[in-house]
Amino acid sequence: MIHTCRHCDAHLSERFLDLGHAPLSNAYLDAAGLQAAEVTYPLRLNVCTACRLVQTEDYTSAADVFGADYAYFSSTSSGWVAHAKRYTDMIVERLDLGPDSFVIELAANDGYLLQHMKAAGVPCLGVEPTTATADAARAKGIEIIEDFFSMALVETLTAEGKSADLILGNNVYAHVPDINDFTRAIATALKPEGMVTLEFPHLMRMVEHRQFDTVYHEHFSYLSLMTVQRIFETNGLRVVDVEELPTHGGSLRVYGCRADASHVASGNVASVLAEERTRGMDTPAFYEGFQAEAEAVKDAAVRFLLDAKRDGKAVAGYGAAAKGNTLMNFAGIRPDLLPRVHDAALAKQNMFLPGSHIPILAPSALDDARPDYVVILPWNIADEVRAQLSHLAEAGTRFVTFVPELKIV
């Protein structure tokens, strides 16, 4: 259990959010698992008053969270694969990558991105600790090191002469318990003029849009640019550019290089930092009141499901996502209010959501059920899901999202 800042070691005394107790959000259960005791952990966030890093109280380790049967496969979302392809096309051109370059992806998952890098003829390596997703990437012909990225691993890579022109990490920076070691490892693994890009949900947008359901034990940190800049500078890197992205409800793509590299910082860095300061992210006031916002979303979700049950309306969920698990467990939603959730990931089908024990079915089962409402739990891909299920809308089904507020279309 850690109650000091994972970056600067300051004592953590300022509470940001308390979601009670919950199981690990990707710890899906089979039928036998329903008969066993289920472990839950406090799900609480604090904010460091020194460096403003928002972070979990740690009751689990990365090895506990990212096990061999980890069930999140990035390629399940066609929109996310398309995002990866656009990034690959952009960064290959921007950095003039080719057959003499070397790219390392951190948390390569099932090869959703490196398949595009490989197709572009750029030598690449994925680092991925979970066996199920690593095997899926290898099936695509991608070289994978099945391990957590760390200084210890980088010492092995550099001894083998493997330094990178580009290191990239999409939605992994928030997932690392030792963010200093991880950042130092990036700086060490880069070539002198190499570049790193990291994408992560922007804490500013999380608060603005009441996205409390992005909080789960896998996310050890919740990041602003001002805090990332400080972490970089402490560990041998320098922020040279940043882009604001619509993914995951509002993300940042931060570009960095070694502190002594020749890259010149763009004006985007100063612009985003100025907006964060204007919003008050360097003051305590920004972090107050988020608990009440989360409870307002929870109350509206429960009220909708209770009203639907009273009115005899059939409701199904779509997307057995970690976001949904956070909401289900915080709100105490169980099968009596949401009888089933549908998901396209084969690894999740015929399993049960952790904590709520709601069964997970294939999307095809929706065609027979024809529910009055489909609640889209991963609201960040709601447009994609509605397009996939447009035939249900034509038959009268309406779609519901709960974050940032109840919306029925």
Confidence of residue 79 (pLDDT cuts 50, 70, 90): confident
pLDDT digits over 266-277, tens only? 999 999 999 999
- What are the residue ranges spanned by the domains of the chain? 74-287, 290-408
**Residue 63 confidence (pLDDT):** 59
* Residues 6, 221 contacting (CB under 8 angstroms): yes
Q: Which residues of 47-80 are buried (b: 16+ CB within 10 A; e: fewer)?
A: bbeebbbbbbbbbbebeebbbeebbbbbbbbeeb
Q: Which residues contact 110 (CB under 8 A, 6 or more apart)?
A: 73, 74, 75, 133, 136, 137, 140
Residue 94 has pLDDT above 70, yes or no: yes
Strands 41-47 and 14-22 turn out to be antiparallel
Could you give the C-alpha distances from 131 to 69, 91, 148, 328, in angstroms and in order? Answer: 7, 28, 12, 27
Least confident of 1-15, 130-144, 223-237, 394-408: 1-15
Per-residue pLDDT at 188: 98
Percent of the chain residues topping a pLDDT of 90? 91
Q: Tell me the three state secondary structure of residue 179.
A: helix
pLDDT at residue 400, as a whole number: 98
Residue 48's SS3 state is coil
Residues 300-348: tens digit of each pLDDT? 999 999 999 999 999 999 999 999 999 999 999 999 999 999 999 998 9
User: What is residue 169's predicted lDDT score, i.e. its pLDDT?
Assistant: 97
Do the domains spanning 74-287 and 290-408 agree at the CATH topology level? Answer: yes
Q: Residues 67-95: what's their mean pLDDT?
A: 84
How far is the C-alpha of 190 from the C-alpha of 122, rounded, in Å? 16
Number of C-beta neighbours around residue 195 at 10 A: 23
What CATH superfamily is the domain 74-287?
A: Vaccinia Virus protein VP39 (3.40.50.150)
Instruction: Band the pLDDT of 349: cuts 50, 70, 90.
Output: very high
pLDDT of 2 above 70: no
In degrees to the nearest 10, what's the CA dihedral of 299, 301, 306, 308?
150
Q: Which range among 22-31, 54-63, 355-364 shows the weakest confidence by mean pLDDT?
A: 54-63
**Hey, what CATH class is 290-408 in?**
alpha beta
Q: Residue 378 above 90 pLDDT?
A: yes
With a cut of 70, say whether residue 66 has pLDDT above it. Answer: no
The predicted pLDDT at position 65 comes to 58
pTM of the shown model? 0.91
Distance CA 201, CA 204 (A): 9
At residue 68, does pLDDT exceed 60?
no
The reported pLDDT for the residue numbered 78 is 84
Q: With beta carbons less than 8 A apart as the criterion, state whether 153 and 145 touch.
A: yes
Q: Please compute the mean of the pLDDT values over residues 3-17 and round it to a whole number.
A: 94
pLDDT at position 69, please?
A: 56
- Please name the amino acid found at residue 325: N
Mean per-residue pLDDT for 105-133? 96
Q: Which two tokens stand for residue 310?
A: 């009273």
- pLDDT above 70: residue 248: yes
Strand, coil or helix: 229: helix
Instruction: Look at the block and give the residue holding tokens 């709100």.
Output: 331
Checking if the pLDDT of 67 tops 90, the result is no
